[in-house]
Every structure is written in structure tokens, then in C-alpha cells.
Structure 1
Amino acid sequence: MGRKLTGPEKAAVLLMTLGEEVAAKVLANLDDREIQNIGNYMSALGDIDRSDMDSINKDFYDMVESGTGGLGIAGMDFLKTALMQALDPAKATEILNNITTPGEEMGGGLETVRLLDPKLISTF
């Protein structure tokens, strides 16, 4: 791409990398104007290279992990609480033990993002 992307452009790329099912859940939490805005960016993006996708995913992960972006909580704390509420504690613990940071060999990165609340992703 070669240029700095805006927040809505990054959100469009992030949604596209998450796949249709997760993107649909996120879009369901947006109002019509927000959907139109992100949809416009999605249709205008063209080809996105792997390094740009990785950079955007890392930016999002860093934002969640640091608690920036208006969340007021650290990403792993949020994820732990959400998983413990949603799953059997043993299963939640197993998933949490397998989560790594982006760039590590197994788990983490995009797989971690797939586990997050769609509303959280929509504020990226």
C-alpha cells in the first residue's frame, strides 16, 4: 500500500482478515452510517499485502493489550474475563495458556483477535 492508513481503513482491513463470519458479528454491532463508512473503505482497498495486514493486526493487538482505545482495561484481562464467563473454566484456561503474541509460532495474533468481542473490534 505504501501510505499510512486511517482508523476506518485499518478497521476495514482487520475485518477482512478476520473472515466473513467474524466480520458479520462485528458489523451487526455498528449503526448504518458506520457500516456504510467501513464498507466504502473495504471496496476501495484493493490488494492488501501480508506485511500491511500483519502491521494492522499488530497495531490492534497492541491497542487491546495496552488498554488504549477507550477500553480502560488491558487486553489479556478482558480476554480472561470474557473467556471465563463464556466457557467452562478448564477450557478457558486451556485457551489462555495457548495464546501468544503476534509473530510467535503458534496461536495468538489473528487467532486471538477472533476470540474478542465483536463490539471491541468495531471500536478499532
Structure 2
Amino acid sequence: MGIFDKLFGSKERGCGEKVEKNSCSYNGECNSSTDGGIEVRILGSGCKNCQTLEKNTLEAINELKLKAEVKHITDFAEIATYGIMSTPGLWINGKIVSYGKVLSKDEVKVILEKI
């Protein structure tokens, strides 16, 4: 798939989507189904800010005892398909809920409680 397809192709995400090497659910199980849980994507290069957002998100999920599949998307062409140009970004169940800043664990918890 070329960069044009990645940038402007279908935004549908399903079982056939590309999974990054470091994408697993919070409990360490890798799969493509959330089984009724929530889907969470951390969008960013893997820098310290992105890692901090991922850590805070995982802690919030664990504290709220939610079932979730968390993926960290590091490919910039794929990140662009989400419509953000500033990272880190947080995508939950099909919506960008934050981008361009590192949310604290408590800020993530507030967002997750509204879902």
C-alpha cells in the first residue's frame, strides 16, 4: 500500500487492520477483538510523551477495571489517517478524544467514565 492509500484510503478499521509490534491489551493479551470492551489507540512516535500517555491510559483502565484493547500506533502515515497532526493522540472507540498533549491518569479516567 502506497503513502497516498495510507493517507487518503478507507478509514475503516477492522479485523484486517495493521497491528503494530507493541500493541496488546492492557492485560498482555494480543487480539483483534475487544469482546465488548473498549478500543483505545495511542497515536505517536514512541517518544517519552507518547509513552507517558500510554502508561497513564493503562493505569486509568486498570483502576477503572475496564476491559480494553490498547494499541500504540507509531506509523506517521497511519496516524495521519486519524486526522491529527500533533502527537501524542488518544483515540477511544472511534473518536479522537485528545491530541497534542499528555493527559494525566485522572484526565484519562474522566474521559473513560463518560464512555
Q: Same fold (TM over 0.5)?
A: no
The TM-score normalised by the length of structure 1 is 0.34
- Tell me the TM-score normalised to structure 2 length: 0.36
- Flag the structure with higher helix content: 1
Query: Which is higher, the Rg of structure 1 or of structure 2?
Result: 1
